Amino acid sequence: MKSIQSSHGAARRITAIGVLAAAALASATAVAADGATVTRGDLSAFATSSDPNIDGRAQMVRTGDGKTIVTVHVTGLLPETTYGSHVHQQACSNNSAGGHYKHDPAGAPYPPNELWPAFTTNEAGIGNGRAVAEWTAGPNAVSVVVHAPGGAKIACADLE
């Protein structure tokens, strides 16, 4: 995760909109004027996925006031079905994203110590999940995995 904090000094005299535009151009990881940091990525099916048509995106916002908000938007799934989703701690191509990201590594393996943007799809197989934590996710919070109802990992987005 890169910070563009160092560029803010030079940008201080231009407008807030200008700062945001400069941040977006400077880095995929933008630090907005309100101190939020955004990472995001497109979802792709794992090679072993039972839902090869899955598509969508995931986003993580680390807010300036110390919260973390994760959203996931997914298409190509079964209608009216509940899917699990979690923030994971390895890249999608690294051990299929590894295990769940935990705020306290020695803490409980579920919220509020983890981020679970689970969702239920609509009749068109589209789902939207959201999870909010009262802490700032650390640098290992690098991917979002979508799981089939049985638990298998079916899709993943790298947050960059």
Among 20-28, 48-56, 64-72, 145-153, which window interacts with Cu ion (CB under 5 A)? 145-153
Q: How far is the CB of 115 from Cu ion (least distance, A)?
A: 10
Q: Name 129's bridge partners.
A: 72
20/102 Cα distance (integer angstroms):
30
Among 47-55, 68-76, 105-113, 137-145, which window interacts with Cu ion (CB under 5 A)? 137-145
Torsion of CA 96, 110, 143, 75, to 10 degrees: 90
Q: How far is the CB of 86 from Cu ion (least distance, A)?
A: 3
**Contacting Cu ion within 15-74 (CB under 5 A):** none
Q: Which of 54, 145, 154, 159 binds Cu ion (CB under 5 A)?
A: 145
CA atoms lying within 13 Å on the CB side of residue 65: 1
Query: In this chain, which residue has its C-beta nearest to Cu ion?
Result: 86
Q: Which of 40, 62, 86, 102 binds Cu ion (CB under 5 A)?
A: 86
Q: How far is the CB of 146 from Cu ion (least distance, A)?
A: 8
Measured from the CB atom, the residue of 45 and 145 that comes closer to Cu ion is: 145
DSSP state, residue 115: -
Work out the burial of residue 12: count CB atoms within 10 Å of its CB; fewer than 13 is exposed, 13-18 middle, 19 or more buried.
exposed
Measured from the CB atom, the residue of 86 and 102 that comes closer to Cu ion is: 86
CB of 99 closer than 8 Å to CB of 92: no
Q: How far is the CB of 153 from Cu ion (least distance, A)?
A: 7
Helix (H) or strand (E) holding 68: strand 68-75
Residues that bind Cu ion (CB under 5 A): 86, 145
